[in-house]
Structure 1
Amino acid sequence: MSQDKDSKTLPLLDTQGLTAEDIIRAGIRAAGGEVSMASSFSVEDVVVIDMLHKIAPQVRVFAIDTGRLNEETYQVAESVRARYDLRIDWYFPERQTVENLEREKGLFSFRESLDNRHECCRIRKVEPLGRALDGLSGWVVGLRRQQSVTRAQLSPLEIDEAHGGIVKISPLADWSEEQVWAYAEKHALPIHRLHRMGYPSIGCAPCTRAVEAGEDLRAGRWWWENPEHKECGLHR
């Protein structure tokens, strides 16, 4: 990490008592350059987009179209775009790599092994994310600690070593599910229809199902895998 990046460590240490909006402002200051938000159009992401629209409209929004998204994801994305007059920068996986994967391993290789699933996520998500983050000083996400065991140590502001030492801003890190929905309902935000159908976490269509009562919030993601494996590589 360069000296410039090292100097960003200090303001990231203490977020105690800061609101989500305060965390966004602090993260943008710490980044000291261009910041964008990654959105899958979950309720958490739309909450953050609403905040950004009010306090930091210069922050642009990007999304990754894996080629396997639910129709409802496109619908809520369009609702968000229209409501905020928002330009959404869409990124797609490399065509040749996807064609080779499907030609050689079929359409559902990700269910055959953890390695195959990681390969699919790397092709469809991780590689496009790398292009989306190229040249940025920071990125904003809608992650929360309560979502899964893999996110239990999430910091609201941190240096993202996996993506070149840029600043990663998670303004809802400390929020509960109840807080998220209270904000969304208070501000009448566009809501992904699958959330109302028992999908608290939404990714690619063949890798996402509704959860049963009492299940973990991300139990419907890659439900054939152990909980500690349920990340796609976007958030390492």
Structure 2
Amino acid sequence: MSAIALYARASAGFDAKLEHTLGLLRAAAAEHPGTIVQATSLGVEDMVLTHLIAEQRLPIAIATLETGKLHAQTLALIPTIEQRYGLAVELFRPQAESVIHFVRDHGERAMFESIALRKACCGLRKMEPLGRMLAARTAWVTGLRREQSDARGEVPERDRDDAGRLKLNPLADWSWGDVWHFVATREVPYNPLHDEFMPSIGCEPCTRAIAVGEPFRAGRWWWEDEIAKECGLHVKHEEDETAAVSMIGSAR
């Protein structure tokens, strides 16, 4: 059964939520002309946002982190976006030399050895490329929702990252049913892995399907404690994240 059939149920007040989301996107685009980007993970929430950006012809760039470990189904969405919406997708990849040295020193399965090594892998494959993505930007858009996990339960619609940039989370109050209702009614393309019970999709080695009743992000880094389940993209001032990323340098 498809994710649409399973989940597409709009919550009360969905139309008002949609209008509010559009207002947030329009305002941010106007406040940050030429310097705002959607940092898309190519997950279903981000596909909703890309659709809205294209539909409203908002001057918001689209960019993604091509970590070198993504599923083929995830990568296939890049040409789909470009063909369907006529939008170029900026790709930010890890530094090849850093990846080579890290894999040489720690192996292809380093993420399973320790939380520190997993975060170091996220550091070189995600955090460093994200830094380049945002370097010339004053604002970025994400698909974060409060419902995704306990750690994201207080996600604000408008926030500031550690560099002072606007971080816009326009789907913060959307439910999972809202997301899929929008996908169904607007025929938004999405990753077919969502149909295989993967609500949160990251790198291939670090993603699995979830069982009935498990949290949305249970399939991400499932071998770790729940409290550790962030890659650093949406974490502020976390000391152990800094320590993990510093391991990249030691691998060179």
The TM-score with structure 1 as length reference comes to: 0.89
Q: Which moves more between the two structures, 144-153 or 122-131? A: 144-153
What is the letter of the counterpart of residue 217 of structure 1? F
Question: 2:34–2:59: 8 Å Cα contact kept in structure 1?
Answer: no
Correspondence list, 1:117-132, <5 A: 117-132=118-133
What is the letter of the counterpart of residue 111 of structure 2? F
What is the letter of the counterpart of residue 223 of structure 2? W
Residues matched between the structures, number: 219
| 1:191 positional shift | 1.3
Question: 2:140–2:165: 8 Å Cα contact kept in structure 1?
Answer: yes
Cross-structure match for 2:69: 68
| 1:166 positional shift | 0.6
Instruction: Indicate whether 1:168 and 2:156 are aligned.
Output: no
How many Å separate the matches in 2 of 1:228 and 1:148?
Answer: 10
Correspondence list, 1:1-236, <5 A: 19-31=20-32, 34-160=35-161, 162=162, 164-236=163-235
Question: 1:20–1:171: 8 Å Cα contact kept in structure 2?
Answer: yes
What is the letter of the counterpart of residue 121 of structure 1? C
What residue ranges of structure 2 are gaps of 5+ in the alignment?
A: 1-15, 236-252
- Deviation string 1:175-234 (CA, Å, 9 cap, x unpaired) is 000000000110001110000011000000000000000000000000011122111011
- Deviation string 1:63-83 (CA, Å, 9 cap, x unpaired) is 111110000001122212210
Question: 1:42–1:202: 8 Å Cα contact kept in structure 2?
Answer: yes
What is the letter of the counterpart of residue 193 of structure 2? L
The TM-score with structure 2 as length reference comes to: 0.84
Alignment RMSD: 1.5
How many Å separate the matches in 2 of 1:212 and 1:88?
Answer: 33
What residue ranges of structure 1 are gaps of 5+ in the alignment?
A: 1-15
Question: 1:31–1:167: 8 Å Cα contact kept in structure 2?
Answer: no
